[in-house]
Amino acid sequence: MAITTIAKLVEAASSRGSTIGALARELEADDTGLSVAQLDEKMRRRLQVMRDSVAAGLEGVRSKSGLTGGDARRMTEAQSRGVLIGNEPLDSAMAYALAVSEVNAAMGRIVAAPTAGSCGILPGVLLSVAKTLDTSDASLIEALFSAGAVGAVVARSSTLAGAAAGCQAECGTGAAMAAAAATELAKGSPRQCANAVAFAFKGLLGLVCDPVAGLVEVPCIKRNAICVAVALAAADMALAGIESVVPPDEVIETMGLIGRELPASLRETALGGLAATPTGKGLAAKLMSSKQE
């Protein structure tokens, strides 16, 4: 995608009177030579994978390590009993995010948006908001293009990798993409989508990547569920007309700077953070021992 900043995305979309998603799809068509219909069909297939992974996770899956699984189902059961306090779309978003992340841990098929470790955030937010607003698939597909445009900007100007900048790069970007998509689904302007991106990142700056036993399970799966709350809060603030004092592109750049200042132990190496707790070390040793038997 030729546009490399959020500011330019907003400027181009606003000048055309379009959404960021519609602009991104048009730019993609120019870059690839594919028609809008072909691009929509490709995105429709990705949307279906998201729906399938949510459905599979809600049925209940278990990871090969045995560390995780079944929490998405527990969330939906708690919803049905009326014991949750978050209400919609938050409760469904958390259940969906857990579901997709658990399917990933069980080696199932997911959409890495932007990464496998943060794969639950975008579908969790997107599908729960769509259910709440009774949104059409056409609008969902356009919102996915908006999310993709945000991810592309982050990839070019900073990083998406936990190994490079901690989980603020992975889950932070996932939350920013989801916040922009949700804002667009709720008829927010391109400028509001951009503010949602800034808010989501600001809420997660400094987030470390500390996978227990080096697996994308603990705390990654529950972190996905928590990050949907950040994304939804960011979208709501933007829709309320609240603006970020620091522009989104500066926030994204700051994320990269913070990431480079994080010690290696907090960047996906499983040498620090929760991975270095007595419980984390014990689980790692237990899993290593079971592999050697």
CB 231 within 8 Å of CB 200? yes
- The CATH number covering residue 223 comes to 1.10.4100
* Residue 16 in domain: yes
Inside any domain, residue 230 = yes
Residue burial 255-286, b: 16+ Cβ < 10 Å; e: rest: bbebbeebeebbbbbbebbebeeeebeebbee
pLDDT tens digits, residue range 161-170?
A: 999 999 999 9
pLDDT at 151: 98
For the whole prediction, is pTM greater than 0.85?
yes
Residue 1 resides in a domain: no
Burial level of 217, CB count in 10 A (0-12/13-18/19+)? buried
The residues, ordered by sequence, that sit 6+ positions from 83 with a Cβ below 8 Å of its Cβ are none
- pLDDT value for 147: 98
**Quick one: residue 104, left, alpha or beta (phi over 0 = left, psi -120 to 50 = alpha)?**
alpha
Q: Which two tokens stand for residue 58?
A: 């809600």
**Both structure tokens of 27:** 């730019």
Task: Give the pLDDT score at 291.
Answer: 77
Task: Give the pLDDT confidence of 232-265 residue by residue, as tens digits.
Answer: 999 999 999 999 999 999 999 999 999 999 999 9
Q: Is the Cβ–Cβ distance between 203 and 175 less than 8 Å? A: yes
Give domain status of residue 72, yes or no: yes
Residue 174: per-residue pLDDT: 98
Which segments in the chain show pLDDT lower than 70? 1, 293
Identify the CA nearest to 268 among candidates 182, 171, 162, 135: 162
What's the mean pLDDT when you consider all of the chain?
97
The answer to whether residue 73 sits within a structural domain is yes
Q: How many domains does the chain have?
A: 1
**Which backbone phi and psi does 267 adopt, to 5 degrees?**
-130, 70
Q: What is the pLDDT of residue 292?
A: 74
128 Cβ partners below 8 Å, 6+ apart? 88, 89, 90, 92, 93, 96, 228
Strand partners for 62: 69
Domain that holds residue 50: 6-292
Whole-number Å distance between alpha carbons of 41 and 38: 5
